Amino acid sequence: MTATRLLPSSEAHDLIAMTREVCNERLRPIVDEMEAKAEFPRDIFAFLGDQGLLTLPYPEDVGGGGQPYEVYLQALEEIASAWMSVAVGVSVHSLTCNPIFAFGSDEQKARLLPEMLDGSKLGAYCLSEPDAGSDVAAISTRARREGDDYVLTGVKAWISHAGHADFYTTFARTSDDGPRGLSCFHVPAGTPGMEFAPPERKMGLDCDTVGQVIFDDARIPADHLIGAEGQGMTIALSALDAGRLGIAAAATGLAQAALDQAVAYAKERKAFGKPISEFQGLAFLLAEMEAAVTSARASYLHAARLKDAGKAMSKEASVAKMICTDAAMRVTTDAVQVLGGYGYTKDYPVERYMREAKVTQIFEGTNQIQRLVISRHLLK
């Protein structure tokens, strides 16, 4: 069932209609096969870039789509309802562009942003480490200054697009001054000294290739520093609010896909001589699933509209990330239940949806961290 959307302009309606067409014609026909093969869909990202769907929230004068966040996120939700791995990749790429856009020099913007925003290059966001996930201040990867270069040493973990991206937005320590010792760098693919571990063997999102990025005296020019030395924590946190909204919207799209499958199955499957949808116990379960999806969509749109209005929305982004991803886990699990034994087989996609939903409660800040952020906003 197509979600009813309240959009701010006729242009936005056309964009969502185009996104649905792309999903129906290019994504849905191949998603099952590609996820089974666990192949990174680089050509799909190139196609989405050509369609202008990789960088929707950035201004047109720098090469973006010029769309408000409430429109971008609804397009992202549409993509997630068709192929969650790709939606996560679109959100990640948008995240990787933010540091240059928001903190880069005029020269860096002129040199780097065009290819980052026209879809011809795909980015990766290198923040987490084996021993530093939610605790960003614990990052140990170092960047030491040597003449006109920085030399990076350390290991980044859980990096989407590792080994496939064209550039890596990387956070490293330039001093031992705790959170004030972090800096941000633009690291092009092919930089000598940058290597990749084998991809992680995950329970879901098999086309979202994730792995370690290893820096072994990887040398980059000093003008690849984004912002100033020591500004890395500010840059990381400013981007993460937007990233959390991306995951919230993607999780909502995943939940919508699971609900659609459950409703369609309940109308067709018969027991005791009538469709199982006519049994009140199951009908009420479907109603609860719909309420969860609708509530999730409302929570991320509220945060997006605050962002578009230039208002503070860090708390609301955490609320949306928590609400939407918890809803995705619950709705996908219930969808498996509605389909019964068939839901537990790979003949239907709901088992994949359930596996994909779990990680949404973990990445872009675990939902326990979101509760911490929300409570601090309330109590400060």
Please indicate whether residue 364 is annotated as part of the active site: yes
Three-state DSSP at 321 gives: helix
Taken in order 257, 263, 267, 270, the sign of the CA dihedral is positive
Tell me the two tokens of residue 200: 């992680």
pLDDT per residue of the chain (380 residues) written in tens, 0 to 9: 667 888 999 999 999 999 999 999 999 999 999 999 999 999 999 999 999 999 999 999 888 999 999 999 999 999 999 999 999 999 999 999 999 999 999 999 999 999 999 888 999 999 999 998 778 888 999 999 999 999 999 999 999 999 999 999 999 999 998 889 999 999 999 999 999 999 999 999 999 999 999 999 999 999 999 999 999 999 998 888 889 999 999 999 999 999 999 999 999 999 999 999 999 999 999 999 999 999 999 999 999 999 999 999 999 999 999 999 999 999 999 999 999 999 999 999 999 999 999 999 999 899 999 999 999 999 98
Specify the DSSP class assigned to residue 169: E
Distance CA 356, CA 202 (A): 10
Considering the entire predicted model, what is its pTM? 0.95
CB of 167 closer than 8 Å to CB of 188: yes
Q: What is the pLDDT of residues 237-266, one digit of tens each?
A: 888 888 999 999 999 999 999 999 999 999
- How many helices and strands (H and E) does the chain possess? 11, 10
**126: β partners:** 170
From the list 13, 50, 37, 68, the residue with the least C-alpha distance to 304 is: 68
Q: Which of 8, 98, 20 is nearest to 57 (CA)?
A: 98
- Active-site annotation holder among 35, 77, 356, 364: 364
**Cross-strand pairs, 155:** 214
**DSSP H or E run through 274:** strand 274-275
